[in-house]
Structure 1
Amino acid sequence: MQRHREPLDAHLLRILQILLTEQSVSRAAIKLGLSQPALSNSLRRLRDITGDPILVRGKTGMVATERGLELLAHANDALAAIDRIKQPTGVFSPATTLREFHLGAPDYLDAMFLPNIAEILRREAPHAKLIVHPINADFDYVAALESGALDVVIGNWLEPPPHMHMSRLFDDEVVCMIGSQNPLATRGLTLKRYLEIPHLAPFPYVSRRQSFIDGHLATQGLRRNIQMTIPYFGQVAGMLLRTDLVFTTGRQFAQHYARYLPITILPSPVDFPPMRFYLLWHQRSHSASEVVWLRRCVSRVATMLQASLTG
């Protein structure tokens, strides 16, 4: 019959961590403020619990076993988790956090929105990590929010997905974007011309749903002539400069490229509603202080960009 092993508590975990970090019973005893016999007794208990020597004698002192090195990584993770559990709700220090934030966004926002978020994090949370996940039709961002793989998602939908916390970020006017070499740059667009000319369009980033543009056209009984479809918004400007295609998008995106390239922005002949961007998050992180802080950062950027459009 297997012998019952005593439980491993936080005190023993801390001793395990210091022993493996110092690789010396005497140094670990000093660091922990314990007597050497007391620490030797704790080491015997840890060996019994783990079934491993943990530390063995080497040529120049004690060395960790292979299992001991593995246990050190587990101890670090467990103690960090315990510290987070003990931390009162609402206590969060951006300046010292080592948090890894996960944000989902379509690459539509790469040019103007995400760099501003990155700037805030580097300035206010310099030790934090930010991982931006591309949102496309193959990525189940709702499940990722539910599991915690994502903290927040930024996007625009004709109808936002249900069962999520949501805040409105900003509205963007829908315009048409063409290369300045395109004859339409001087002729302009009528509704008839808009529906007949060849269009460039992105893949929808929500599976089995129409894009914001095509969803609205469908409600009006209209359909445009999509001649080419691309997976990345970063490809748009290059395609427009070499073709007669038109791209329907938000003014923010179009203005960014028109500042640097021979791109012409035309009013849309279709009465589109504003392209509305939302921030989504799940109930599981609704009160998490670090995610609340991230949401506030995103909202600050949205307010700043909205002011630049209307100012």
Structure 2
Amino acid sequence: MPRPRESMDSHLLRMLQTLLTEQSVSRAAVRLGLSQPALSNALRKLRDLAGDPILVRSKNGMVPTERGLELLAHANDALAAIECITSPPRVFDPSTTRRVFHLGAPDYLDAMFLPNIAAILRHEAPGARFSIHTIHAEHDYIGALEDGSLDVVIGNWLQPPPQMHLSRLFDDEVVCMVGSQNPVAHRHLTLQQYLELPHLAPYPYVSERHSFIDGCLAAQGLQRNIQMTIPYFGQVAGMLLRTDLIFTTGRQFARHYAGYLPITLLPSPFRFPPMRFYLLWHRRTHGSAEAIWLRQCINRVAGMLQASQSASLQPSPPLP
């Protein structure tokens, strides 16, 4: 029956590396702070484990065998791996990183939120690459976070996915948008009028569920008259300028287009809760220095936009 082989621990692996590097038991003992007899015993054990002399005598001292040279390469690799595993995580420097970051978000955020994120990322990590993926009903963003295809996802949900880490980014007031040529642009809408008007609505980006707006209405037993749906938020303004449709959305999105197009904002006659946007990530990247930095950048942009919106809603000071 064969004798059981002894295991190779990191201490014995270090002795193997040092013996083969120094090619001398006495020099290796000094370098490791061990007695020469102790290292001689270790060499015998290593020879038994390897089934090879590892070091042999020559006229100029000891030299490694071919098997010994092969084992030295393996020992160097193994000790380097152990060092990586047992060392604290390296400090992440965004200015030198070449990493590719993947962010998922609905195109609702294209107008005001994502450009501000892009500005910070390009300034702080010019060598990094960023790929923005549009979230829609057919996109399995939870699976993408789990398998690493996405680093983070931004969105608004009535109930965020419970299996993900999340942080609140910002709240947005719900308002209505219409083209300024629309007959209702200068009217005060009642709830009944609001429900009966022809609505423009986006496809929900969570499959088989209500959108935020329709979910809030359904919770009160209400339903609006959706006459047209669109896949992209970038199509909203053009649709409103040429039709009598009404679009319900967040103030930030509406204000962006009303700033340079004949778009009118109307208060919603239904008391929607604020549209709450979240940042989602998977536990696999929770402690990653690179992912933490990305999440901090996104949270900084959210804070700036929230402060800007709060300032715009403050009443103007009285004239002197």
TM-score tier, shorter chain, comes to 0.7 to 0.9
* AA of the residue aligned to 2:252: Q
How far the C-alpha of 1:90 sits from its partner, in A, is 5.5
Q: Once superposed, what is the RMSD of the aligned Cα atoms?
A: 2.2
Are residues 1:143 and 2:128 paired?
no
TM-score where L is the length of structure 2: 0.71
Structure 1 vs Structure 2: percent identity of aligned residues?
73
Structure 1 range deviating more: 183-192 or 241-250: 183-192
How many equivalent pairs are there? 237
How far the C-alpha of 1:84 sits from its partner, in A, is 8.0
1:135-168 deviation line (CA, Å, top 9, x unaligned): 0010000010011110000000011111110000
Hey, what's the Cα distance between the residues in 2 that align with 1:184 and 1:82? 70
* AA of the residue aligned to 2:179: G
**What secondary structure, in the 3-state scheme, does the structure 2 residue paired with 1:201 have?**
strand
Are residues 1:171 and 2:168 paired?
no
1:217-250 deviation line (CA, Å, top 9, x unaligned): 0001100000000000000000000000000000
- Residue matched to 1:18: none
How far the C-alpha of 1:189 sits from its partner, in A, is 1.2
How far the C-alpha of 1:262 sits from its partner, in A, is 0.2
Hey, what's the Cα distance between the residues in 2 that align with 1:294 and 1:192? 44
How far the C-alpha of 1:190 sits from its partner, in A, is 0.9
Q: 1:84 to 1:95 in 2, by over 3 A?
A: farther
Q: 1:90 to 1:224 in 2, by over 3 A?
A: farther
Hey, what's the Cα distance between the residues in 1 that align with 2:308 and 2:144? 32
Contact 1:106 1:135 in 2 (8 A): yes
- Residue matched to 2:280: 280
Contact 1:152 1:280 in 2 (8 A): yes
- Residue matched to 2:160: 160
Hey, what's the Cα distance between the residues in 2 that align with 1:227 and 1:85? 58
* AA of the residue aligned to 1:210: H
- Residue matched to 1:105: 105
Q: 1:96 to 1:199 in 2, by over 3 A?
A: same
Which consecutive unaligned segments of at least 5 residues does structure 1 have? 1-40, 46-80
Hey, what's the Cα distance between the residues in 1 that align with 2:84 and 2:225? 54
Hey, what's the Cα distance between the residues in 1 that align with 2:253 and 2:84? 40
Q: 1:85 to 1:109 in 2, by over 3 A?
A: farther
**What secondary structure, in the 3-state scheme, does the structure 1 residue paired with 2:136 have?**
coil
1:79-125 deviation line (CA, Å, top 9, x unaligned): xx999868742610000000100000000000000000100011000
- Residue matched to 1:117: 117
Hey, what's the Cα distance between the residues in 2 that align with 1:266 and 1:216? 18
- Residue matched to 1:60: none
Aligned positions of 1:35-184 closer than 5 A = 88-89=88-89, 91-184=91-184
Hey, what's the Cα distance between the residues in 2 that align with 1:268 and 1:95? 45
Which consecutive unaligned segments of at least 5 residues does structure 2 have? 1-65, 71-80, 312-320
**What secondary structure, in the 3-state scheme, does the structure 2 residue paired with 1:127 have?**
coil
* AA of the residue aligned to 1:217: L
Q: 1:90 to 1:251 in 2, by over 3 A?
A: farther
Hey, what's the Cα distance between the residues in 2 that align with 1:291 and 1:215? 32
- Residue matched to 1:234: 234
Structure 1 range deviating more: 269-278 or 183-192: 183-192
* AA of the residue aligned to 1:91: V
Hey, what's the Cα distance between the residues in 1 that align with 2:159 and 2:245? 28
- Residue matched to 1:261: 261
- Residue matched to 1:61: none
Contact 1:170 1:303 in 2 (8 A): yes
Hey, what's the Cα distance between the residues in 2 that align with 1:126 and 1:184? 47
Hey, what's the Cα distance between the residues in 1 that align with 2:293 and 2:89? 13
Contact 1:90 1:288 in 2 (8 A): no
- Residue matched to 1:296: 296
